[in-house]
Every structure is written in C-alpha cells, then in structure tokens.
Amino acid sequence: MAIEVITREDLNEFRTLLLSDLNAMFNSKPQQQKQWLKSTEVRKLLNISPGTLQNLRINGVLSYTKVGGIIFYAYADLQKVLETNKVEATPNLFNPKWLVR
C-alpha cells in the first residue's frame, strides 16, 4: 500500500480548479425558455385561473394556437402582453410635494 503525500501546492491547485469549475457552473446560461406553452403552464406562470385565461383569449388580449384540442401560447406573446400592460411606478411616498404646505 503506497502512501501519497499531499502538499500545499497540490491543495492550492485543487482549490483553483474547484473554484473555476464552480464559477463556470454558476455563470452558465440558464435553461432556455420553451417557445410554446400549454394552458396549464401559462396559468402557473401568470398565477391566474382557467377562467381568466379564457377571458384573455376571448377578449383578444392573448393570442393562441389550437392544435388537436390543445391550446398553445407563444412565450414571446406573453412577454409582449406583460410589457404593453406595464404600469410605471410613480413614487408618492417620498415625493417632496406632500411636505410643502
């Protein structure tokens, strides 16, 4: 049975390799978003009920594609709807107007 001696240089090299591997893992691109989502995925993503999703379809707010009884939504369309309905925040709490009498 051979005994192997580990030196400080070996530990430093191991640390450097470990840190570079961890850094590569954390800086890697996240999993790419699916292009088409089913109704259940959209409802989970937006935290809405089936009726609300149906209203969005009926009112023409959210476009969809129906294939064989399954409704699909384009992820890009969801982003577009969210962006067009975005309401910009107006900070009123720290607005100096309310301090002036």
- pLDDT tens by residue, 80-92: 999 998 888 776 6
pTM of this prediction?
0.57
Task: Give the residue ranges of DSSP H helices in the chain.
Answer: 8-27, 39-46, 50-58, 75-84
In angstroms, rounded to a whole number, what is the distance separating the alpha carbons of residues 91 and 26? 35
Would you call 83 helix, strand, or coil by DSSP?
Answer: helix
Tell me what the pLDDT averaged over the chain comes to. 86
Domain ranges of the chain: 36-83
Least confident span in 26-35, 57-66, 71-80:
26-35
| Tokens at 67, concatenated | 């294939």
Q: Residue 35: CB partners within 8 Å, gap ≥ 6?
A: 74, 75, 76
